[in-house]
Chain A
Amino acid sequence: GENVEQHPSTLSVQEGDSAVIKCTYSDSASNYFPWYKQELGKGPQLIIDIRSNVGEKKDQRIAVTLNKTAKHFSLHITETQPEDSAVYFCAASPSSGSARQLTFGSGTQLTVLP
């Protein structure tokens, strides 16, 4: 089955700096890669996703890149703000319609220091 590795497990950055979280996956059949943000006391929330026919996707200060050959994808947050502090999870799936087949990474605790 699919295995998703996520690094780092914790990340601290100064406000205004960039943060990068990296994930690798094992199943070449995976073609859907969502990222979830879990704020304290809340459930994970989808913040951005990318499909395998695209190498990069951007939404304001967040962007995701995908390298299918190397089987890795990354989340980039620019101009970080304190409200970006949260746990971020990457995930991989062979289909955007299959929540059962979503395999999650172990999470990254991001702390943005003011």
Chain B
Amino acid sequence: EAGVTQFPSHSVIEKGQTVTLRCDPISGHDNLYWYRRVMGKEIKFLLHFVKESKQDESGMPNNRFLAERTGGTYSTLKVQPAELEDSGVYFCASRGYSGTRNTGELFFGEGSRLTVL
């Protein structure tokens, strides 16, 4: 069974440019999360989808970040325009859904490293 996959693995762009990161969760997982780790610091929550709906986007830094999950399958995270402080590793994670509670392990992708010059 395929795990959570992310693309690209590494992106280098200049300040002011646009980047789109993609995440394919484990098939059948309704819950999809985006996290970010700025160099050497903790992993921080960005947002949470349940199927195609944004359940919680309170961790999004500002309106330069836009996340979508059309059709409730893969998700994209767009940064436009990118700033230097956006550099970091962006992780996607997914989890199954059982009954009325989110249960089960959180599975992470390998991350997309973003470098803004």
Contacts and interface: CB of A to CB of B under 8 A. Distances in A.
Contacts of B48: 99-100
B33 A44 contact: no
A89 B44 CA distance: 12
Contacts, number: 57
Contacts of B108: 36, 43-45
Nearest to A96: B103
A24 to B, nearest CB: 13
A97 interface: yes
Interface of A is mostly: loop
Nearest to B109: A43
A105 to B, nearest CB: 6
Contacts of A43: 4, 91, 93, 107-111
Nearest to B3: A43
Contact of B105 (A41, A46, A98, A104): A46
Interface stretch (B35-43, B71-79, B80-88): B35-43
A61 interface: no
B31 to A, nearest CB: 7
B102 A98 contact: yes
A106 B41 contact: yes
Interface of B: 4, 31, 33, 37, 40-45, 48, 55-56, 58-59, 91, 93, 95, 101-103, 105-111
Interface of A: 4, 6, 9, 36, 41-46, 89, 96-100, 102-107
